């Protein structure tokens, strides 16, 4: 077999001792407990390779319920003998792990003789490289000789099921449509990462498990543009929105790729991705949580933590061995923008997100946190509005409601400063406060709501002052700074009051306002 993906070293890993090497699927899983992290060339590849390994494990081990998953996690390593029996059964059924197999190439489609599409540049596999009409590339890596080694090409293939956006003039996207955020467990070893990111049969509700089968066990050629109405777990993890076949040069390098439309995932009502968080719209219903430029995942914690919205692998995360105060997640995403009818890549993201066990276990706390974060977003919007007024006024020297000129940057700077400070307060202070007060039961929400409101007031004002303090301290600036602080205080107070975070107390509002003004005056005098 030419280029056996089970044995060839194509997966870049680091051992727990810090050494780096490449392994095949077989060694990656058999030695997962001895390996630390798996990192590809970019977050798309990193997630895609993890996802493929999870799909292999789901097919080989087939955990039926939470007890099977916990037994697997407590074992501390994957059963190598059981995996070897699985590989043997696949080969006995003529299921192929050869990357360049002429009939069933791994994760690809063999085009019939005489019906092959014209080869495209190998850059078509890599969203960070320009190819065809794709000029929106964001890694600024220039294509050298139009070739890739088999390991690079295979890693790129792994990213296609989750991050495919469009092809040619077609809207052929991933099984989730526009690529959303994807979540994985961030384990101390590769074993923990993979085992704790798996799901059992009982956790996928009415979703079929392997009908249709995963890509390497599917004997049927991928149909061109055929709508698919039902997706299984294993099919979804290895979805094929495109028919792809690598072109191999005489020296073994990949010098091109044949591509055509594959399955049409435009409307798959039964699909629930185990690594995706879902939000709900009152009219349009459930939708995958999108990946938005500049929006970090923690801002959506209230949605991610809901029982119905959280990724399925997190349904029983609190019961996982070794979980104490929180579950670490890795979050991957591809930001895209629409160009006419097609989606184009803009940037990719990878970040860490700690999810506290108390929030995973206590839906009341989760609902409360969601209301706090929703109010935070409203305060952030008020801050942007006031900074827009300030930017316009500094530009014209008079009241103006349209931000323009060189001071427009103040808006984004203030918002970034505010969000940075809020994240620190949320993770370091507020969640522990929420945990300790919720444990005391009576009146916990009143205490926490008051603490959140006061911090939103102070942090929004701190963000304004922080940004304005870097400007030349002219008389005009000092004037508008005082006016902006008063305006911001008033609109944020009213927003918090309407949300039930502050009492309707005019005298208290005035006292707090005077206190804030004194604090601002002291800061301005330093």
| Percentage of the residues of the chain whose pLDDT score is greater than 90 | 48
Q: Does residue 307 sit in the same domain as residue 439?
A: no
Alpha-carbon gap, residue 296 to 420, rounded angstroms: 10
Q: What is the pLDDT of residues 129-165, one digit of tens each?
A: 444 444 444 333 334 567 899 999 999 999 999 998 8
Give the count of domains, the chain: 2
DSSP one-letter code for 112: P
pLDDT for position 162 = 92
Q: What is the pLDDT of residues 189-214, one digit of tens each?
A: 999 999 999 999 999 988 999 988 99
Reported confidence tier of residue 180, pLDDT bands at 50, 70, 90: very high
Domain boundary among 332, 356, 380: 356
For the ranges 290-299, 454-463, 474-483, the lowest mean pLDDT is seen at 474-483
Q: Does residue 367 sit in the same domain as residue 352?
A: no
Tell me if 489 is assigned to some domain.
yes
Alpha-carbon gap, residue 383 to 523, rounded angstroms: 19
pLDDT for position 509 = 59
pLDDT for position 137 = 41
Q: Does residue 412 sit in the same domain as residue 499?
A: yes
Q: Does residue 376 sit in the same domain as residue 300?
A: no
- Mean pLDDT score of the chain, rounded to an integer? 84
Q: Does residue 136 sit in the same domain as residue 282?
A: yes
pLDDT higher than threshold 80 for residue 504: no
pLDDT for position 46 = 96
Alpha-carbon gap, residue 33 to 188, rounded angstroms: 9
pLDDT for position 128 = 58
Tell me if 4 is assigned to some domain.
no
Backbone dihedral region for residue 397 (phi beyond 0: left; psi -120 to 50: alpha; all else: beta) = left
At 177, give phi and psi (nearest 5°): 75, -135
Q: Which range of residues forms the domain containing residue 514?
A: 362-525
Alpha-carbon gap, residue 233 to 213, rounded angstroms: 9
Q: Does residue 288 sit in the same domain as residue 366?
A: no
For the ranges 1-10, 319-328, 396-405, the lowest mean pLDDT is seen at 396-405
Tell me if 233 is assigned to some domain.
yes
Tell me if 5 is assigned to some domain.
no
Tell me if 333 is assigned to some domain.
yes
Q: Does residue 334 sit in the same domain as residue 448?
A: no
Q: Does residue 299 sit in the same domain as residue 320?
A: yes
pLDDT higher than threshold 70 for residue 526: no
Q: Does residue 442 sit in the same domain as residue 313?
A: no
Q: What is the pLDDT of residues 242-273, one digit of tens each?
A: 889 999 998 889 999 999 888 888 777 789 99
pLDDT for position 511 = 57
Higher model confidence: residue 402 or residue 424? 424
Alpha-carbon gap, residue 388 to 8, rounded angstroms: 57
Q: Does residue 288 sit in the same domain as residue 409?
A: no
Q: Does residue 391 sit in the same domain as residue 317?
A: no
Answer whether 42's CB lies under 8 Å from 139's CB.
yes
The partner residues of 243 in beta bridges, in order of sequence, read 260
Tell me if 2 is assigned to some domain.
no
Q: What is the pLDDT of residues 83-130, one digit of tens each?
A: 999 999 998 887 789 999 998 999 999 998 888 899 988 888 886 544
pLDDT higher than threshold 60 for residue 521: no
Domain boundary among 339, 356, 373: 356
Alpha-carbon gap, residue 55 to 154, rounded angstroms: 16
Q: What is the mean pLDDT of residues 5-19?
A: 94
pLDDT higher than threshold 60 for residue 401: no
Domain boundary among 291, 324, 356: 356
Q: What is the pLDDT of residues 184-194, one digit of tens each?
A: 999 999 999 99
Tell me if 3 is assigned to some domain.
no
pLDDT for position 215 = 92
Alpha-carbon gap, residue 217 to 95, rounded angstroms: 5
Q: Does residue 283 sit in the same domain as residue 385?
A: no
DSSP one-letter code for 65: S
């Amino acid at each position: 077999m030419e280029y056996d993906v089970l044995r060839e070293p194509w997966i870049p890993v680091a051992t727990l001792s810090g050494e780096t090497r490449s392994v095949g699927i077989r060694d990656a899983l058999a030695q997962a407990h001895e390996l630390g992290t798996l990192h590809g060339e970019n977050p798309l590849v990193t997630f895609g390779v993890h996802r493929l390994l999870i799909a292999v494990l789901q097919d080989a081990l087939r955990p039926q319920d939470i007890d099977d998953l916990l037994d697997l996690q407590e074992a501390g390593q994957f059963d190598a003998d059981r995996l070897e029996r699985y590989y043997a059964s696949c080969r006995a059924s003529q299921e192929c792990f050869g990357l360049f197999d002429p009939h069933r190439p791994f994760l690809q489609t063999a085009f019939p003789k005489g019906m092959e599409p014209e080869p495209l540049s190998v850059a078509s596999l890599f969203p960070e490289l320009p190819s065809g009409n794709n000029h929106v590339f964001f890694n600024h890596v220039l294509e050298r000789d139009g070739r890739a080694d088999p390991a690079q090409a295979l890693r790129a293939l792994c990213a296609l099921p989750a991050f495919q956006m469009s092809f040619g003039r077609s809207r052929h996207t991933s099984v989730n449509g526009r690529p959303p955020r994807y979540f994985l467990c961030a384990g101390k070893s590769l074993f923990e990462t993979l085992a704790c990111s798996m799901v059992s049969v009982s956790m996928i509700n009415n979703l079929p498990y392997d009908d249709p089968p995963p890509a390497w066990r599917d004997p049927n050629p991928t149909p061109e543009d055929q709508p698919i109405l039902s997706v299984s777990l294993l099919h979804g993890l290895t979805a094929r929105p495109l028919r792809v076949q690598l072109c191999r040069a005489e020296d073994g390098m990949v010098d091109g790729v044949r591509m055509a439309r594959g399955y049409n995932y435009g409307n798959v009502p039964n699909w629930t991705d185990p690594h995706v968080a879902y939000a709900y719209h009152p009219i349009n219903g459930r939708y995958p949580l999108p990946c938005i430029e500049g929006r970090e995942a923690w801002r959506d914690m209230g949605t991610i933590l809901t029982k119905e919205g959280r990724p399925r692998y997190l349904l029983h995360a609190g019961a996982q061995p070794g979980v104490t105060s929180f579950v670490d997640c890795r979050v991957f995403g591809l930001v895209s923008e629409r160009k006419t009818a097609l989606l184009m890549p803009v940037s990719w993201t990878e970040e860490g997100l700690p999810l506290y066990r108390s929030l995973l276990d206590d839906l009341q706390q989760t609902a409360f946190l969601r209301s706090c974060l929703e109010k935070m977003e409203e305060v952030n919007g008020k801050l942007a509005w006031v900074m827009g007024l300030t930017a316009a006024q500094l530009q014209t020297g008079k009241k103006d409601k349209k931000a323009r000129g060189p001071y427009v940057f103040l808006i984004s700077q203030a918002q970034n400063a505010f969000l940075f400070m809020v994240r620190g307060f949320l993770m370091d202070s507020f969640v522990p406060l929420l945990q300790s007060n919720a444990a005391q039961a009576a009146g916990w929400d009143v205490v926490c709501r008051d603490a959140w409101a006061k911090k939103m007031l102070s942090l929004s004002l701190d963000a304004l002052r922080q940004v304005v303090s870097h400007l030349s301290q002219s008389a005009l600036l000092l004037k508008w700074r005082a006016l902006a602080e008063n305006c911001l205080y008033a609109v944020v107070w009213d927003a918090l009051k309407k949300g039930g975070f502050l009492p309707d107390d005019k005298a208290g509002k005035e006292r707090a306002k005077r206190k804030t003004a004194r604090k601002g005056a002291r800061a301005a005098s330093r």
